[in-house]
């Protein structure tokens, strides 16, 4: 649940140049001068020509970086556009279905559609709910409770009213046998990395996380609770996405976790990092490694090598290709969810996926 005084994801726009420029000449994908022949003379000094090819070689690194920025931004725009299209179409389809359902129910009840909607009662919001939400979402820079309690109350009232309306439409969908085949937007997400749960679980959740992100920390108990509830039905995969521009210690923490994985103790290190409120300095991470029983010499050798860096860079590249810009970012069977979302939202999507899988299984068995 989003409340007025909190941003629920760590985010920074950063372009990482993963492609190494090794060729003698740069071949730009974007628009260049009309005559881009390497032999074209672009200037002459004391009778000596400077060719376009020489100019490209001199500008190679800067042009490569610009190309990387261009490719990343274009890819992100494409993904954002697809998500915006899906959201618009989903909302319009829900409105069309809802309008038709209201018309059918109004006819059946010999009343008007407005009276039907007026009959949907909004659940009250209690003081304890307001306080509980404040405590759950409180961050170090959160304003005092008295300053924001009315904003929180209004947000809760709006959410509860919407939930009551959604529940009403849901009963009408069941009553009139709505078949919704539109489906969610999915992205192909490689479930590669440390995992929990059965390999053949019907639902896969992939998280791109940052060990220094406070919202990743806050989401962790929620994820643990959900995974416990669906221990036989959900496989959970963690992939690294350290936002090093705003979290300078995140990379070291990710390296420590991947080195712990080499000794079969990724999850103990993962949990210890999230549970420890101390700064993620090298000494703190060494202490955690000792605490969970890692071989110190093997751990030191690993963190000084390029092995964990390569694995983390692969995760970051995969995340950027999927349009990940913030942490935590989850993909539930390819469905994008960004931020420190409430447990109810995760459960809702997982239940929806389980129903979809059950429906496919039933269809296949016929």
Q: Which CATH number covers residue 309?
A: 3.40.30.10
Domain span at 126: 89-175
Whether residue 299 sits in one domain with residue 239: yes
Whether residue 201 sits in one domain with residue 165: no
Whether residue 358 sits in one domain with residue 230: yes
Q: Are strands 41-45 and 48-51 parallel, antiparallel or unpaired?
A: antiparallel
Banded pLDDT at 15 (limits 50, 70, 90): very low
Is residue 42 in a domain? no
Whether residue 235 sits in one domain with residue 110: no
Q: Which residue has the higher pLDDT, 161 or 21?
A: 161
Is residue 302 in a domain? yes
Is residue 33 in a domain? no
Whether residue 168 sits in one domain with residue 121: yes
Please report the pLDDT score of residue 337 as a whole number.
97
Mean pLDDT over each residue of the chain, to the nearest integer: 90
Whether residue 244 sits in one domain with residue 96: no
Banded pLDDT at 313 (limits 50, 70, 90): very high
User: Which of 122, 146, 175 delimits the end of a domain?
Assistant: 175
Banded pLDDT at 5 (limits 50, 70, 90): very low
Task: Please say if the pLDDT value at position 294 is more than 70.
Answer: yes
Whether residue 200 sits in one domain with residue 158: no
How many domains does the structure of the chain reveal? 2
Whether residue 233 sits in one domain with residue 353: yes
Whether residue 269 sits in one domain with residue 322: yes
Whether residue 230 sits in one domain with residue 290: yes
pLDDT digit string (tens) for 259-275?
A: 999 999 999 999 999 99
Is residue 236 in a domain? yes
Whether residue 147 sits in one domain with residue 270: no
Whether residue 245 sits in one domain with residue 148: no
pLDDT digit string (tens) for 122-173?
A: 999 999 999 998 887 787 788 999 999 999 999 999 989 999 999 999 999 9
């Amino acid at each position: 649940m989003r409340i007025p005084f909190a941003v629920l994801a760590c985010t920074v726009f950063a372009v990482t140049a993963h492609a190494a420029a090794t060729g003698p000449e740069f071949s730009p994908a974007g628009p260049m001068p009309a005559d881009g022949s390497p032999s074209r003379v672009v200037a002459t000094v004391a009778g000596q020509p400077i060719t376009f090819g020489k100019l490209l070689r001199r500008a190679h690194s800067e042009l490569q970086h610009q190309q990387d920025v261009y490719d990343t931004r274009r890819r992100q725009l494409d993904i954002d556009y697809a998500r915006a299209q899906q959201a618009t179409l989903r909302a319009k389809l829900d409105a069309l279905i809802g309008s038709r359902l209201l018309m059918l129910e109004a006819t059946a009840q010999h009343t008007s559609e407005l009276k039907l909607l007026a009959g949907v009662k909004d659940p009250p919001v209690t003081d304890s709910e307001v306080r509980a939400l404040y405590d759950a979402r409180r961050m170090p820079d959160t304003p005092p409770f008295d300053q924001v309690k009315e904003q929180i109350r209004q947000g809760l009232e709006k959410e509860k009213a919407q939930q009551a309306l959604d529940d009403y439409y849901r009963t009408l969908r069941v009553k009139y046998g709505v078949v919704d085949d539109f489906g969610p937007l999915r992205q192909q997400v490689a479930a590669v990395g440390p995992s929990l749960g059965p390999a053949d679980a019907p639902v896969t959740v992939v998280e791109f996380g940052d060990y220094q992100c406070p919202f990743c920390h806050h989401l962790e108990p929620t994820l643990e609770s959900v995974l416990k509830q669906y221990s036989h039905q959900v496989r959970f995969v963690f992939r690294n996405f350290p936002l090093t521009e705003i979290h300078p210690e995140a990379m070291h923490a990710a390296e420590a976790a991947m080195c712990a994985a080499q000794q079969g103790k990724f999850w103990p290190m993962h949990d210890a990092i999230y549970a420890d409120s101390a700064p993620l300095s090298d000494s703190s991470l060494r202490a955690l490694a000792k605490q969970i029983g890692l071989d110190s010499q093997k751990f030191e050798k690993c963190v000084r090598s390029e092995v964990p860096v390569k694995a983390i860079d692969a995760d970051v590249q995969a995340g950027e290709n999927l349009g990940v810009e913030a942490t935590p970012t989850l993909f539930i069977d390819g469905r994008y969810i960004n931020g420190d979302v409430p447990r109810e939202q995760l459960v809702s999507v997982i239940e929806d996926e389980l129903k979809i899988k059950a429906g496919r299984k039933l269809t296949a068995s016929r």
